[in-house]
């Protein structure tokens, strides 16, 4: 007896993976940059830690709010499109059959077969068929605002805790160097893991995150050193 296994594709991870990677990357990068900027401005360990903790809390809340508002806007648009499709199905069912069949013809089916497929799918779930094939809305890729918000806030906090922990235990004399070096390593690991989870090149993922992370930390340190001299 043949065994059928359900294939698992990476597109199902898109929603939470994007939010989690973005949150962790921002957490490491923004907190490390903030610590380096304050340290470069000759701030003491206490001032640096306070700035880092404040950055963690503010960043996590900001990420959660931003992700929720953004993804909720997408969800609202999806619901509005579905509501419009319901009205169109109720008003002119035959025209919606023809529209769906035309979509399948455009994808390569013969007109007779396309009509048969459209008829069967609409008999089973008319709105679902149009949502999927006309609007591009599916269960796998639909907007999930709360999930995105929680994933972003949690991953940002975890990412931000890494440079903060290094800051708390590192000797004052080498604090900037250790924070920058360990954050650079954390970013490389994050980039590699994200690329692996998404099925992309691990090396390219790590290099991409490392490049932008190094640039951000260098610019922030430079600004902190400049203002620390002026002020």
Note if the pTM is more than 0.95: no
The token duo for 200 is: 């992309």
Q: What is the DSSP letter of 161?
A: H
139-to-128, 136, 144, 145, 225 alpha-carbon distances in Å: 10, 10, 10, 14, 50
Highest mean pLDDT among 37-41, 166-170, 200-204: 166-170
Q: Does residue 75 register a pLDDT over 90?
A: no
Q: Given pLDDT bands bounded at 50, 70 and 90, which one contains residue 230?
A: low
Mean pLDDT along residues 179-189: 87
> Can you tell me the distance from the alpha carbon of 191 to that of 202, in angstroms, rounded to the nearest whole number?
7
Q: Given pLDDT bands bounded at 50, 70 and 90, which one contains residue 157?
A: very high
């Amino acid at each position: 007896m043949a065994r059928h296994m359900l294939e698992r594709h990476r597109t199902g991870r898109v929603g939470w993976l994007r939010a989690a990677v973005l949150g962790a990357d921002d957490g490491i990068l923004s907190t490390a940059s903030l610590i380096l900027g304050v340290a470069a401005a000759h701030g003491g360990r206490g001032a640096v830690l306070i700035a880092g903790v404040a950055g963690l809390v503010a960043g996590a809340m900001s990420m959660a709010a931003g992700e929720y508002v953004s993804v909720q806007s997408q969800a609202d648009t999806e619901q509005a499109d579905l509501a419009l499709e319901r009205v169109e199905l109720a008003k002119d069912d035959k025209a919606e059959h023809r529209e769906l069949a035309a979509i399948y013809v455009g994808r390569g089916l013969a007109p007779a077969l396309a009509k048969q497929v459209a008829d069967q799918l609409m008999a089973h779930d008319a709105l679902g068929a149009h949502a999927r094939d006309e609007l591009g809305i599916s269960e796998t890729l639909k907007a999930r605002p709360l999930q995105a918000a929680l994933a972003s806030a949690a991953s940002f906090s975890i990412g931000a805790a890494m440079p903060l922990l290094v800051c708390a235990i590192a000797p004052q004399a080498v604090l900037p160097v250790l924070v920058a070096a360990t954050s650079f390593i954390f970013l490389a690991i994050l980039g590699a893991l994200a690329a692996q989870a998404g099925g992309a090149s691990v090396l390219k993922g790590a290099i991409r995150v490392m490049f932008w992370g190094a640039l951000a930390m260098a610019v922030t340190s430079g600004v902190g050193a400049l203002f620390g001299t002026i002020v």
